[in-house]
Amino acid sequence: MLFSNIDETVQLILDKYNTQNKTKEALFYEANNLKELAYFGIKKKNFGQINKYKIQRIYDVYNLLGFVKNKIDIDKFVFHNNTINLTLKEEEYLKSKKIIKMCIDPNWMSFEKIEENRHIGFNSDYIDLISKKIDKDISLVKTSTWAESIEKAKNRECDIFSMVAKTEQREKYMDFTNSFISGPVVIATKPTNRFIYEIKQVKDKNIGIVKGHWLVEVYRKKYPYINIIEVDSIQDGLEKVKSGKIFGYVDNSIVINYEIERNFPDVINISGVFNDKVDFYIATRNDEKQLNSIIKKAQKELDREKLKELEIKWFDTDTKNKLLNQMSLTKQERRYLKGKKTLSVCVKKDWLPFESIEDDRFVGISADFFNSYF
The verdict on 269 and 285 lying in the same domain is no
Q: Say if CB 182 and CB 278 are below 8 A apart.
A: yes
Last residue of some domain: 45, 77, 109? 77
* In a domain? residue 171: yes
Query: Would you give the distance in Å from CA 175 to the centre of its chain?
Result: 21
Point out which residues pair with 184 in neighbouring strands: none
CA-wise closest residue to 187 among 277, 272, 109, 267: 272
The verdict on 104 and 60 lying in the same domain is no
Alpha-carbon gap, residue 257 to 312, rounded angstroms? 15
CA-wise closest residue to 252 among 277, 220, 226: 277
Alpha-carbon gap, residue 180 to 162, rounded angstroms? 11
* In a domain? residue 324: no
The overall average pLDDT reported for the chain is 85
Spatial neighbors of 184 by CB under 8 A, at least 6 apart, are 252, 253, 273, 274, 276, 277, 369
The verdict on 12 and 153 lying in the same domain is no
* In a domain? residue 225: yes
Alpha-carbon gap, residue 300 to 129, rounded angstroms? 12
- Does the pLDDT value for residue 47 go beyond 70? no
The verdict on 97 and 151 lying in the same domain is yes
Q: Report the pLDDT averaged over residues 182-203.
A: 90
Q: Say if CB 98 and CB 48 are below 8 A apart.
A: no
ω before 110 within 30° of 0 (cis)? yes
What is the chain's Cα-based Rg? 27
pLDDT of residue 105: 96
Sign of the CA dihedral 260, 264, 270, 275? negative
What pLDDT, in 10s, does the model give residues 53-94? 778 878 888 888 888 888 887 766 666 555 688 999 999 999
* In a domain? residue 323: no
The verdict on 214 and 259 lying in the same domain is yes
324 — pLDDT class (breaks 50, 70, 90): very low
pLDDT of residue 84: 86
* In a domain? residue 148: yes
What pLDDT, in 10s, does the model give residues 333-353? 666 776 776 777 888 777 766
Its pTM stands at: 0.65
Quote the longest CA-to-CA distance of the chain: 90
The verdict on 198 and 261 lying in the same domain is yes
The verdict on 120 and 202 lying in the same domain is no
The verdict on 224 and 162 lying in the same domain is no
CA-wise closest residue to 209 among 231, 241, 188, 226: 231
* In a domain? residue 53: yes
Alpha-carbon gap, residue 326 to 270, rounded angstroms? 7
The verdict on 211 and 269 lying in the same domain is yes
pLDDT of residue 243: 97
Domain count across the chain: 4
What pLDDT, in 10s, does the model give residues 83-135? 688 999 999 999 999 999 999 999 999 999 999 999 999 999 999 999 999 98
286 — pLDDT class (breaks 50, 70, 90): very high
* In a domain? residue 321: no
CATH number at residue 268: 3.40.190.10
Spatial neighbors of 309 by CB under 8 A, at least 6 apart, are none
Classify burial at 131, counting beta carbons within 10 Å of its beta carbon; exposed 0-12, middle 13-18, buried 19 or more.
Answer: middle
Q: Say if CB 84 and CB 298 are below 8 A apart.
A: yes
The verdict on 215 and 145 lying in the same domain is no
pLDDT of residue 268: 95
285 is in which domain, residue-wise? 88-180+280-314
Last residue of some domain: 48, 77, 106? 77
Q: Is 50 left (phi over 0), alpha (psi -120 to 50) or beta?
A: beta
Last residue of some domain: 56, 77, 98? 77
The verdict on 297 and 161 lying in the same domain is yes
The verdict on 105 and 141 lying in the same domain is yes
CA-wise closest residue to 309 among 128, 65, 172: 128
* In a domain? residue 319: no
